[in-house]
């Protein structure tokens, strides 16, 4: 069922470093033609660090682990590319559609293909007003069932960060700050909340991964929360003001359900004159670079 590119398959079989990359940032997160340029740039960052990129997407009903340039162009440029979480994968396969994979779908497919390290921007999590809406990202439940190391810049700052951290604890998903004892806030280096564990090098992360396997516990993920550099983060005061305005606009316009996150993210981009997108991309680049180094340390173990 999985279509694993020859390059990725050979690297996995030879225990060489591989990094999984999601495709929603290509199809749904950036405007054309910038989306394709960023996709190629992120793959190049992986290669510069000596690892193999494995961008993941569903094309014509077949999950692909590792895309060539033509396939990346399809994801970036075709109209009608679906946004697929892990629950959507059987429907997408049976329907023969094309779709870009979210964190949950990418993590699942990467794990099934034997890819242990995954780089993304920010995780989904528990939404604000959860007690009313019961709205929680599918990312969390999937990460409780997939043995993969996810390098991210925390969770999106539009979410309920402390509730998300509590939910991850309840689900048994390990969380460590990379070089910090503060949990990052996607656009921000510090969400205002602590983490209990800190890792300081790719080798330390690989050591935790080996311990996961040696203990033989539940097949859960390891989240490595890597903060965007302070000099590249979104100005915290600007972030707080615009996010408050975005939440008010969301309520005023009656936006609910899955439409909330894209509405808020789009509002932030427009009302920060693109500064939030710049911080987002800085975080993603840093996460991809770190993930590549972790994959190399894991492969050299």
Superfamily for domain range 1-115: Indigoidine synthase domain (3.40.1790.10)
Delimiting residues of CATH 3.40.1790.10 domain(s) in the chain: 1-115, 125-301
Quick one: pLDDT at residue 51?
98
Question: What letter does residue 186 receive in the DSSP assignment?
Answer: T
β-strand partners of 57: 64, 100
Q: What is the pLDDT of residue 39?
A: 97
Token pair, residue 107, equals 């993590």
Beta strand pairing status for 62-65 and 3-4? parallel
Place of tokens 């054309």: 32
* 73-82 contacts, C-beta under 8 A, 24 or more apart: 73/36, 74/98, 75/23, 75/26, 75/27, 75/39, 75/100, 76/26, 76/27, 76/32, 76/33, 76/35, 76/36, 76/39, 77/32, 77/36, 81/27, 81/28, 82/58
pLDDT in tens, the chain (301 residues): 899 999 999 999 999 999 999 999 999 988 899 999 999 999 999 999 999 999 999 999 999 999 999 999 999 999 999 999 999 999 999 999 999 999 999 999 999 999 999 999 999 888 776 655 667 788 999 999 999 999 999 998 888 999 999 999 999 999 999 999 999 999 999 999 999 999 999 999 999 999 999 999 899 999 999 999 999 999 999 999 999 999 899 889 988 766 777 888 889 999 999 999 999 999 999 999 999 999 999 998 5
Among residues 6, 49, 156, 204, the one annotated as catalytic is 156
Q: Verify whether residue 22 is a known catalytic residue.
A: yes
Task: Please classify residue 143 by burial: count the beta carbons closer than 10 Å to its beta carbon, then call 0-12 exposed, 13-18 middle and 19+ buried.
Answer: buried
Handedness of CA 208, 224, 36, 233 (dihedral sign): negative
Note the pLDDT of residue 133: 61
Copy the structure tokens of residue 109: 């497919």
Residues 188, 191, 192, 195: is their CA dihedral positive or negative? negative
Contacts of 32 (CB under 8 A, 6+ apart): 76, 77
Separation of alpha carbons 76 and 98, rounded Å: 12
CB 46 within 8 A of CB 52: yes
Instruction: Name the residue among 171, 173, 226 with its Cα closest to residue 199.
Output: 226
CA distance 139 to 148: 12
Work out the widest C-alpha separation in the chain, in whole angstroms.
55
Q: Which of 6, 10, 22, 248 is catalytic?
A: 22
- CA 61 – CA 79 distance, rounded (Å): 16
Catalytic residue check, 83: no
> Does 125-301 carry CATH code 3.40.1790.10?
yes
Give residue 259's pLDDT. Answer: 77
Residues forming a β-bridge with 39: none
Evaluate whether 57 touches 23 at the Cβ level (below 8 Å). Answer: yes
């Amino acid at each position: 069922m999985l279509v694993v590119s020859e390059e990725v398959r050979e690297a996995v079989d030879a225990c060489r470093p591989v990094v999984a990359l999601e495709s929603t940032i290509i199809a749904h997160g950036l405007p054309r033609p910038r989306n394709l340029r960023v996709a190629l740039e992120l793959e190049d960052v992986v290669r510069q660090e000596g690892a193999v990129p494995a961008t993941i997407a569903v094309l014509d009903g077949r999950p692909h682990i590792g895309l060539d340039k033509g396939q990346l162009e399809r994801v970036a440029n075709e109209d009608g590319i679906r946004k697929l979480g892990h629950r959507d994968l059987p429907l997408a396969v049976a329907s023969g559609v094309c779709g870009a994979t979210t964190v949950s779908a990418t993590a699942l497919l990467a794990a099934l293909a034997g890819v242990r390290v995954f780089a993304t921007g920010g995780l989904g999590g528990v939404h604000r007003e959860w007690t009313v809406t019961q709205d929680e990202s599918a990312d969390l439940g999937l990460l409780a069932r997939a043995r993969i190391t996810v390098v991210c810049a925390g969770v999106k700052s539009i979410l309920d960060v402390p509730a998300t951290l509590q939910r991850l604890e309840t689900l048994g998903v390990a969380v460590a700050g990379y070089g910090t004892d503060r949990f990052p806030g996607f656009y921000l280096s510090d969400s205002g909340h602590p983490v209990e564990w800190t890792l300081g090098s790719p080798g330390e992360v690989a050591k935790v991964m080996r311990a996961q396997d040696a203990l033989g516990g539940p097949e859960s993920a390891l989240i490595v929360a890597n903060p965007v550099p302070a000099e590249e983060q979104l100005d915290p005061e600007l972030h707080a003001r615009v996010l408050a305005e975005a939440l008010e606009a969301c309520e005023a316009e009656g936006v609910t359900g899955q439409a909330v996150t894209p509405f808020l993210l789009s509002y932030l981009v427009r009302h920060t004159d693109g500064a939030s997108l710049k911080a987002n991309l800085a975080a993603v680049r840093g996460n991809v670079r770190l993930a590549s180094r972790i994959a190399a340390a894991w492969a050299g173990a």
